[in-house]
Structure 1
Amino acid sequence: MNARTSEASLADAAARGIRIPPQPQVLLDLAQLMATDDYDARRVAAVIGRDPGLAAMIFKVVHSPALRGTRPPASLEQAIMRIGVGQTLNIARAVALSTSVGDANRRAYELFWRRSRELAELAALVADERVSVCNIFADQAYMAGMFLECGVPVLMQRFPDYCETLLLDERLDFPSLREEDQRFDVDHCSIGYLVARHWHLPEFVAQAILHHDVVPRDELGAVRSLVAILHLANHARLRAQRIHDYNWDRVGLEVLSELGLHPDDLNDYLADLQERGIGSPV
């Protein structure tokens, strides 16, 4: 999907009453500041600080094992200095998304974003550990994990009974999104791609969201590596919760090959992720 096609798809989505959420003003202000090339960690922290809720959530994310380094940062400015301004923008996008799509009073949305955060944290950890193999960084993987299924809450806003089983039991994972898409004649991957483009995510991240159902063979390099990271992160999340990962049956060997892991080492690798405090059963 190219830029012209995505513009047409945006118009088609609007015609069907599907609302692509706009970026919050704080992200627009942050992007504008960075476009001037006259910024430092203090000025970036000041812009983010205009939204105390966003600042607090970013600070919490930066405390995760994959991002904080050996010692947790003591302030938002220190966190920005440690991970870099570009990385901070990626984290800010990911955090802001969860407050821009959905109703905070709706249990289904709360459950959806909790699962997305779990996936994002695991993806960041996998990317950090595999960076020498894939050249995907933790902040990029975290952002991709948060945006991965963002088409779902967008479609839930348009079709209240899309993924209605999310309301039934928090121990259930997502229903078959392919079946949901067929039922409503939509494509949640394409909607997620449109959100990613509208929020100006890097193109390889947007393409990974579009193609994440498989490990794309025609999309090499960063797209394929990022999709593999997301599959492994989701496999770890489901396994920790003792939920069978049917996708892994299809793509597991390709994922491990892309990430430079041997199948015999998978159990130890997943155990190590869980020991680091991420992906434990809820």
Structure 2
Amino acid sequence: MSSVDSKLRTLNIDIPAQPESLVQLSLLLASDDVNVQAIGHLVEGDMSLAAAVMKAVNSSLYGLKGRVQSVQQAVTYLGTREVAAVTFEFGLRAVFPPASELDAVWERAAVRGLLMGRIGQALSVDPWGAHSAGLFEECGKAVLFKHAQDTYRPLLAKAHNDTELVDLEHEAFGVSHDALGAALCESWGLSPGAVASVRHHVRVNALHQLPAQAPRRSICVLSALANTLMTDPERLEEVAQAVAPQAMLDQTLVLRGARKVQQQIEDAAARG
């Protein structure tokens, strides 16, 4: 965690440990020859996790034709990465207490992760790293909420955007959710590119400026694209033109990939 922000070591803010089921899932995903059946069995072995995964893949976000009846069937329809990502999403949520104030955070995480993963796949930019970065982007807010609900709740309500929120967080806690989210990502073994995207997402999304020395800066590009699709899709071309060259990506291909995925999500919602 110290490589993310050395000051975090001096703060008494708990970074939740990765659940054992996600540790095992990470090991399976790291294998050169991914065992799809083993992944299905692992998810099915946790009844609450399996139920959450099944509910998610049958939602309008994915818009599958016909209802999926098993985790193995979900893997067949969606592929290993997206089912693994949904599993990570609910494993992440499970380490934090349920709170209505965080519902919007988790809802955005699901959409952002799907957008970033699919755009990454379209552009051959580390789809798993991109998807996981999207899922974890705002998780530092959950860390702070769990740490001090009474203090953090009014900050969430007061801030109009994440730029304002990180200033309020620094005043109240001496640290902001982007640094804490990156620390959680690192402690859970996410890729350096995903960690960097989470660490720098507030600046990237506000200013469309990529961090100069971050690994896999292309994942930061996907964060900016997903944020734009979710908040102001009319500006997609403008944002693509601003961020793609910073990561040595072809802005025409980036824009085409983002629009393709946008259409996929819209079509899924229509079917759902």
TM superposition score normalised by structure 1: 0.70
User: For structure 1, which segment, 3-12 or 39-48, has the greater mean C-alpha deviation from structure 2 after superposition?
Assistant: 3-12
Task: Say which of 181, 198, 201 aligns to 1:209.
Answer: 198
Q: Distance between the aligned counterparts of 2:138 and 2:121, measured in 1?
A: 22
Tell me how far 1:261 sits from its aligned partner: 3.1
Contact 1:208 1:227 (8 Å CA) reproduced: yes
Task: Say which of 106, 112, 119 aligns to 2:105.
Answer: 112
Q: Distance between the aligned counterparts of 1:210 and 1:98, measured in 2?
A: 19
1:153 maps onto 2:148 in alignment:
no
1:126 maps onto 2:119 in alignment:
yes
Tell me how far 1:192 sits from its aligned partner: 1.0
Task: Say which of 16, 19, 28 aligns to 2:14.
Answer: 19
Task: Say which of 75, 81, 87 aligns to 1:80.
Answer: 75
Residues 179 and 38 from structure 1, CA distance in 2 versus in 1: closer, same or farther, beyond 3 angstroms?
closer
Q: Distance between the aligned counterparts of 1:118 and 1:145, measured in 2?
A: 8
Task: Say which of 221, 228, 233 aligns to 2:226.
Answer: 233
Residues 37 and 227 from structure 1, CA distance in 2 versus in 1: closer, same or farther, beyond 3 angstroms?
closer
| Secondary structure of the corresponding residue to residue 251 of structure 2 | coil
Contact 1:66 1:124 (8 Å CA) reproduced: no
Tell me how far 1:68 sits from its aligned partner: 9.0
Contact 2:114 2:131 (8 Å CA) reproduced: yes
User: For structure 1, which segment, 206-215 or 54-63, has the greater mean C-alpha deviation from structure 2 after superposition?
Assistant: 54-63
Other-structure match for 2:3: 5
Aligned residues: 257
Tell me how far 1:72 sits from its aligned partner: 7.8
Contact 1:205 1:226 (8 Å CA) reproduced: yes
Other-structure match for 2:207: none
Contact 1:151 1:192 (8 Å CA) reproduced: yes
| Residues 194-229 of structure 1, C-alpha deviations (whole Å, 9 max, x = no match) | 101111112221122123223123235xx2111111
Residues 173 and 55 from structure 1, CA distance in 2 versus in 1: closer, same or farther, beyond 3 angstroms?
farther
1:56 maps onto 2:51 in alignment:
yes
Residues 95 and 9 from structure 1, CA distance in 2 versus in 1: closer, same or farther, beyond 3 angstroms?
farther
Q: Distance between the aligned counterparts of 1:136 and 1:32, measured in 2?
A: 17
Tell me how far 1:95 sits from its aligned partner: 2.8
Residues 165 and 252 from structure 1, CA distance in 2 versus in 1: closer, same or farther, beyond 3 angstroms?
farther
Q: Distance between the aligned counterparts of 2:95 and 2:121, measured in 1?
A: 27
User: For structure 1, which segment, 181-190 or 16-25, has the greater mean C-alpha deviation from structure 2 after superposition?
Assistant: 181-190
Q: Give the share of equivalent positions with the same residue, in percent.
A: 22
Q: Which amino acid aligns with 2:100?
A: R
Q: Which runs of 5+ in 2 are unaligned?
A: 205-209
Q: Distance between the aligned counterparts of 1:274 and 1:77, measured in 2?
A: 23
Tell me how far 1:42 sits from its aligned partner: 3.0
Tell me how far 1:36 sits from its aligned partner: 8.9
Aligned CA RMSD, in angstroms, stands at 4.2
Q: Which amino acid aligns with 2:9?
A: A
Other-structure match for 1:177: 165
Tell me how far 1:89 sits from its aligned partner: 4.2
Q: Distance between the aligned counterparts of 2:24 and 2:95, measured in 1?
A: 16
User: For structure 1, which segment, 146-155 or 69-78, has the greater mean C-alpha deviation from structure 2 after superposition?
Assistant: 69-78
Contact 2:64 2:268 (8 Å CA) reproduced: no
Other-structure match for 1:269: 259
| Residues 101-133 of structure 1, C-alpha deviations (whole Å, 9 max, x = no match) | 2x21x21012221222222232233323333xx
Residues 173 and 274 from structure 1, CA distance in 2 versus in 1: closer, same or farther, beyond 3 angstroms?
farther
Q: Which runs of 5+ in 1 are unaligned?
A: none
